[in-house]
Structure 1
């Protein structure tokens, strides 16, 4: 295992009320074994009732940031297709200020074609769904612009293929300097090239640990191509939690840690049991406490 394990939770903000999500985050904020908490970024449900409730991720994240005091927090991960990057930079800086400097800036290219349930949210909200190549290229441009807005002290213009800005300027800056950690999610080869250049943390959905190991090695190669130390990029993995079979969750965590993924995000599904985070810490994570 590379590095000390870091454990977080992810509460999908769908098929649940605000009070339920808030209850889980407030509990997690009091439990030292849990270092970070995450929402996702979808506009329509991707599981359960298709017309069930779902909250906009960044709005909810800001509310939860204001009602917690310790947890690192973020979206796993923001769809770069949903918001113009300069607007996203402003939103994220606001959340970093509200949280007192606890934001982890999670971002990705957007929904995969392999997740057809997520495709409908684009048409439903009048959003473009570009091809995979354009989505990854625009992600790289977005990250360049966002980091400049967070760090530069003078207005600037940007004339990219996908992003064009005139007189762009960000104020206030994020609390964290030079900027919040950038967490990029994805497993595609093209995305991993962007990870190598821009990410502080790389997250991959779990399940196929052999594939995760292979993708991590690919990322090492892309880092070598640009002269970056691959050890600078923390390896993160998302693993679903089984309420009925905690042993299987423990086994998956151990496997991920042994494979070199010390940053583990554990997915909780609604309805959230009472004291679910205490149960997670005491029954699932006890050997790593």
Structure 2
């Protein structure tokens, strides 16, 4: 049975609007998870419009919901040192009572100018893609160790160096929150094969997504991991005016083996949008999946 969530990109919107949607979704059983994205400036619409910091907002929303699993689709590993990120994520897992799904990726590609500007605007380095993927692999290792190890440790990697690293409090979830890795490059898929419980790819080109999923299968097999241990996830944009198109995209994704669906809600959010998603987009798929 596929699981369904919603994604509300926290840009060009008001905090109260996002909160309204998440609170409503928290009461709709068909919606199991809810997501934000991780950008520091808008990547669509008015470049000077509002964009909320993802982890801060996620903690606020986690504190005001009770059932939904919550996460960022996906955290940019370029924005925060991994030990700091492990601390932030553990805090959110505690605040949520153990409902965090930890989404992470290598960070924005250099060919997206509105995303690229975030780095210089915030004094953040923008390394090449080889660096970003290599540091992602080390970050996943370090974060998991900080969540699980009971004694301080040192870590001397190519990209991450820590002395006396230790995480407390630990996440509520044991052994740790599920790790979702997002991305489509072969290098990122190799990281996902080793570290991910869930792998996510944006929808839009299903043939490519199927090809990438097969590549992930291969990489899992090469390291002796069962490919079925990695749940396949897809983000699909919702069109309020063309629900049939969205339903068709969901049906195709599920048929292709993607069992974790994140439905991206464009702003402004209509009144009752979470119930609409359940009735217009999810109900038929769930019936067909039985």
Which deviates the most, 276-285 or 135-144?
A: 276-285
Match of 1:174 in 2: 171
1:8 and 2:17 equivalent?
A: no
1:285 match: secondary structure: helix
From 267, 270, 274, the equivalent of 1:273 is 270
**What is the deviation of 1:285?**
1.5
Q: Cα deviation per residue 1:87-134 (whole Å; 9 max; x = unaligned)?
A: 000000000000000000000000012322100000100001110001
1:143 and 2:124 equivalent?
A: no
From 193, 197, 210, the equivalent of 1:196 is 193
CA–CA distance in structure 2, aligned partners of residues 214 and 170 of structure 1: 38
Match of 1:121 in 2: 118
Match of 1:24 in 2: 21
From 31, 35, 38, the equivalent of 1:41 is 38
1:234 and 2:252 equivalent?
A: no
Match of 2:130 in 1: 133
CA–CA distance in structure 2, aligned partners of residues 72 and 263 of structure 1: 13
Q: How does 1:52-67 map to 2 (within 5 A)?
A: 52-67=49-64
Number of residue-to-residue matches in the alignment: 286
**What is the deviation of 1:52?**
0.4
1:38 match: secondary structure: strand
1:34 match: secondary structure: coil
Match of 1:96 in 2: 93
1:121 match: secondary structure: helix
1:106 match: secondary structure: strand
Q: Which runs of 5+ in 1 are unaligned?
A: none
1:214 and 2:204 equivalent?
A: no
| TM-score of the aligned structures, taking structure 2 as reference length | 0.98
Match of 2:47 in 1: 50
| TM-score of the aligned structures, taking structure 1 as reference length | 0.98
CA–CA distance in structure 2, aligned partners of residues 258 and 219 of structure 1: 18
CA–CA distance in structure 1, aligned partners of residues 109 and 117 of structure 2: 12
Match of 2:151 in 1: 154
**What is the deviation of 1:288?**
2.8
Match of 2:182 in 1: 185
CA contact (8 A) 2:251 2:285 kept: no
Q: Cα deviation per residue 1:174-210 (whole Å; 9 max; x = unaligned)?
A: 0000100000000000000000000000000000000
CA–CA distance in structure 1, aligned partners of residues 83 and 19 of structure 2: 29
1:110 and 2:110 equivalent?
A: no
CA contact (8 A) 2:193 2:219 kept: yes
CA contact (8 A) 2:250 2:285 kept: no
Match of 1:79 in 2: 76
